[in-house]
Structure formats: structure tokens, C-alpha cells
Structure 1
Amino acid sequence: MRDMKQRVDKVIILWTANTEMFLTPEINALDDLMARIDGNQALPASVLYCVAAIEEQCIYLNGSPQNTFHPAIVEYARQKQSLIAGSDFKSGQTRFKTIMSDFLIGSGLRLASCVSYNHLGNNDGKNLSEDKCFQSKKISKAGVLDDAMAGNTVLYPAGQNTIDHEVVIKYVPFVGDSKRAMDEYSTQIFMGGTNTISSYNQCEDSLLATPLMYDMVVLGELFSRMTINGERLGPVLSYLSFFFKAPITNHEEYIVNSFSRQRDTLTNLLKVASGIMPDDTTLLSFQF
């Protein structure tokens, strides 16, 4: 990274490696993290690369689902005035899930069960066939419905704010990169009735993810040059949440997974930065 910085204007690290095993080392503060590094103790490779990127003030974008961004990492990025964003590319099944949950819950239907099954035969699928690696992916996918529930306390009051949410991934070598995804959404409707919507999707997984890589690198570079009231964005570039399954933010209490809210937030920021009025969905000028 240090050598590359001498040869180009800016270095951006985009982590696209295989899903790592879910690891929860005993790290309570930044000092603990640095002690583990100095003592050559076990840490995921993504954490070591992330720390190196922060040291060199290179933007670090985490496209994989493992738990790289411990609070100590975020604190270190803040101290070094470095920029990070993640985690886990959101391109196909999970993006569709955020759209469907928006639609169902926004329509006043209580989403009670969401079951996702998919199989693929590329290296990602092979890696996820290991239980310890799959745990990272399962956790990454599991949280995408949380803010949809939190935003509707009528359908999800305290004590009833859960959805039966299951995720299954199987490795089938024959299908290669052609991922097959099946989802079932069951909702509670009027007078105790139920409604179930099932979907089937077949796509080239890598071809869905590749354009996102270009987008997040271009936008990450742009955001690194932006300031609001004289202050830089960050250390977490949360405006890139649109591209991630498990977004991290500068404020843990405000994490948004909703497709429409993430997209509106991103496009409105870009409009404001370009001197264009952001969208006004009240339409009061039309008295509509």
C-alpha cells in the first residue's frame, strides 16, 4: 500500500476475498487490538489488511461478510482520519429481500416468516459449505429486516418484534457461478388470514456484484473529497450502505437496510453536492 501510494494519487482497498470464519476475539478496546497484532495472535486477515489501510490512510471497502469492523477498528479509523465502509456486497437475493420487506410491511401486512434458500457452485459456494464460514454469511444476511420491524411498532410491538427468518446456502458444483435463489414471504393479513409470496431467481452471481465494485470505488473516492460545514465525511462512509448487506454507520443506533431509504439518501446527497434540490416527496407545491 505504501509503495502504491508513491505511484498514484489515491489508493482504495476493496476487500473481495472469501468469507472468513466467524471469529470473536477478546477485544474490548483499541489497545487490545494493537496488543493482539503486536503479539502475533489470531486475527482474521481482513482485520490486518484493514488496520494497514487505516495506517496508510487508504480507503477500505469490505465486500465480504465476516465481522471485520469491530468498534476498535472504527475508533482507529477515526483517530487516523481514515475512511472505511462495509460490509458484504448486496447484489441479488438480499437486495430483493429488502425491496419485498419494504413492500409488504409498508402495505400494512405483517411479515411473519421469511425463508431463503440458494445454491451455487463457484468458489464462494464451496467456501460457504464450511459451517464456520457460513456463520459469517448467515449473520450478515440476518439483519436486513431489523429496521423494517423497528420502523413499524404497530405491526411489531414490543415483545412481538420478531420474524421467523431462515437462510440456507448449499454448494452444488454443477451450476458454477449460476446462482439459484428461492424465497418465501409469509404475511399475516385481515381476520387471521395468511398470504404467501414465493420467488425464484437465477443469475450469474459475480456479474451482479462486479458493477457494484465500480460504483462503490467511484463514490468512495468522491466522498473522500467531500466536506459538510468544513468537516470530512466519516470515518464510516455510511452513504455507501446501499451496496452492503450489513452496513455499518457512525452511529450504531441508526442503521438503515431499506432499499428505497438507502437509495434516496444516496441520490439526495449527490444532488445536494451538485447544487440540485433534493427530492421533495410531499409534493406540496402541487397541493396534491
Structure 2
Amino acid sequence: MLNLTSKKTISAKLRVKQDIFGPWDEEPPVDHQVRVMYTPFIGDEKRDVVEYTSLGFLGCPHTMLTYTRCMDSILCVPLMIDAAVWCDYFSRTGATDGQAAAATAYLFKVPEGGARGVDPGFFRQMGQLEGVLKELSSSSEEEEEGKKGGSSSLSW
């Protein structure tokens, strides 16, 4: 969480957190607030409190509250491994930089560079990954078909 001492990184974090429901175009808009703070005393530890209120049985408000604590650097290690594995795969399969960026956008809170403009919704980002994998699969099947001179029986 030390990265929150920089104005650039805190503004990037707030940008993605403030508009997390933006792509859903709900009417009325989802009531959502985010507070991001850095406390030097707790260092790398991430603390997260989420309060969700909805209407329950007979229209009565129901509130669910969760509290999470974890070392922030521990949370990012699996994402770093995924990024390395995907980048290796995309490099070996001849993916363009744009394809690799769009396909790995789900790994980053604020997609930048070639992934800029990818919908920040997780399921839409996973759809980007699936789309790129299908493109790469069909282009490799076409190459194999060209080498063999026959048709391929593989399909998605």
C-alpha cells in the first residue's frame, strides 16, 4: 500500500474504484462510495471493509458487512505469475501486442496502453481473453491446414 503515497498511483486507484459500476448503465445509478487511505503504521497490509445494503424480505433493509486483512504484496503474486505465463504463451503463438494487452487486461486494475478502452468489468475482460485465444487457435489451425493441404477437424 506504500504506492498510495504517490499522487499518480492514488489517482489511478481512485479512478478505477469510483467508476466500478459505470459500464452497467443501471437506472437509477448504483449508490457506491470508495475511500482509499494509506496509513504508514500498517505498511503493506491491506484492510478492506465492504458494507452492502439491499432490500430483503417484505422490503426491509438488509445489510451485510465484510472485513478483510491481507498483505497487499501477497495478493499480487498470483497475478504476476499469470501475467508471466500469458506473456510467454502470447509470445510463442505470435499474438500481436494489442491482442496480448487486451487478453491480459483482467490482470490490471486500470488497463493502459494497448488495453486502454477494454471494459473494466471482469466478465467482459475474460471475454476479451477468450476471443484472443479463439483468434490464435483459428489462425494456427489455418497454418496447419495450409501445411497439410487438408481440412482441420478441430473447432472451438
What is the TM-score of this pair, normalised by structure 2? 0.65
**CA 1:270–1:236: 2 relative to 1, 3 Å:** closer
**1:213 is matched by which residue type in structure 2?**
M
In the aligned structure 2, how far is the partner of 1:243 from the partner of 1:174? 28
**1:199 is matched by which residue type in structure 2?**
T
- Residue correspondence of structure 1 range 242-281 to structure 2 within 5 A: 242-248=106-112, 252=117, 255-258=119-122, 260-263=123-126, 265-266=128-129, 269-270=132-133, 273=137, 278=156
**2:69 is matched by which residue type in structure 1?**
Q
CA RMSD of aligned residues (A): 3.6
Q: Does 1:138 align with 2:14?
A: yes
Q: Does 1:168 align with 2:35?
A: yes
* CA-to-aligned-CA distance 1:178-228 (integer Å, 9 cap, x gap): 211111122356765433222111111001112212321331343245458
For residue 140 of structure 1, report the CA deviation from its aligned partner: 2.3
3-state DSSP class of the match of 1:210?
helix
- Residue correspondence of structure 1 range 1-288 to structure 2 within 5 A: 122-125=1-4, 127=5, 134-147=10-23, 149-150=24-25, 156-157=26-27, 160=28, 162-188=29-55, 192-226=59-93, 232=96, 234=98, 237-248=101-112, 252=117, 255-258=119-122, 260-263=123-126, 265-266=128-129, 269-270=132-133, 273=137, 278=156
What is the TM-score of this pair, normalised by structure 1? 0.39
3-state DSSP class of the match of 1:164?
coil
In the alignment of these two chains, the number of paired residues is 140
Q: What stretches of structure 1 of length at least 5 have no aligned partner?
A: 1-121, 151-155, 279-288
- Tell me which of the two structures has the higher relative contact order, counting C-alpha pairs closer than 8 angstroms and 6 or more residues apart: 1
**CA 1:234–1:264: 2 relative to 1, 3 Å:** closer
**CA 1:266–1:183: 2 relative to 1, 3 Å:** same
Q: What stretches of structure 2 of length at least 5 have no aligned partner?
A: 142-153
Identity in percent: 29
